[in-house]
Structure 1
Amino acid sequence: MTLATPVQSADTVQLAPSYVLPLTLVAMALPLVWVQIWLSLTLSLFGLFLLFQAVTLRLLLTSMALEIYRGQTLIRRFPYGEWLNWQIFWSPLPILFYFREVNSIHFLPILFDPKALQTCLEQFCPRSPG
């Protein structure tokens, strides 16, 4: 199984989905049923929502932009030229991907292979020192 598979060309990488975060949330919700049923239900629904997103979304990194697709439909394109900074939070279990553009800030749950994401970002959009 390849974690990051080339699509179209050597300058485009489609990341493999990661189900770790959604399944962890659902698993954490199960024991909460006996403590607080509404919290358990909320957490499990959020985990199932993220699982649906991981299954249906595709994340492509090109030499020019990060692109998000649902099926063959481009949902959003984030050109690297507008990025000021990016970070993957919490190394032991990456759960959040942050990037800042000139006019906006984005926080995305890690629904794709975090190591391949970091490798591709370091290749296509290296962080500036300092």
Structure 2
Amino acid sequence: MTPSSPLSSTTIELAPSYKLPIAIAILAILLLLVSPWLGGAIALFGLFLMFQAGTLRLQFTDTALDIYRGENLIRHFPYQDWENWEIFWFNVPILFYFKEVKSIHFLPIIFDPKLLKSCLEQRFPKRTASS
């Protein structure tokens, strides 16, 4: 957990994770042997995810999930608008999904998945069927 500033001790910034982009790059190398076009397309996607992991920052504040590129806030997702969330295949995490009242979002797991799950459970606990 990394506080974003001394004044905001409850803001948590997720560290990047390069596991998914590296796995996609390895898959691309294998696919290059079978299909150069498909392998090349997958390799470009892996490079794109690697770039995103290095440049995007997710911050969990008391009221919202904020996404930054460098110092610029590019998206603000208040928890009050959230309906639910899911991390697909947590043992091999590849995709984070969350639904707001008016939209749904899918993000590749290019951040620390354990800290992501911990922050989600803390900031927006899943509702049980009986809730």
TM-score, with structure 1 as normaliser: 0.95
Specify the SS of the correspondent of 2:34. coil
2:100 paired residue number: 101
1:84 pairs with 2:80? no
Provide the residue aligned with 2:14 in structure 1. 15
Structure 2: distance between partners of 1:128 and 1:11: 23
Alignment of 1:36-115 (within 5 A): 36-115=35-114
After superposition, the C-alpha distances for 1:39-84 in whole angstroms (9 at most, x for unaligned) are 0000000000000000000110011000000010000000000000
What is the aligned residue count? Answer: 127
Which whole-Å CA distance do the structure 1 matches of 2:122 and 2:22 have between them?
Answer: 29
Unaligned runs of 5+ in 2: none
> Which residue in 2 is equivalent to 1:119?
118
Quote the Cα distance in structure 1 between the aligned partners of 2:113 and 2:43: 22
Structure 1: gaps of 5 or more residues: none
TM-score (norm 2): 0.94
Aligned letter for 1:102? V
How far did 1:31 drift? 1.6
Query: Which residue does 1:5 correspond to in 2?
Result: 2
Kindly report structure 1 stretches of 4+ aligned residues shifted beyond 4 Å: none
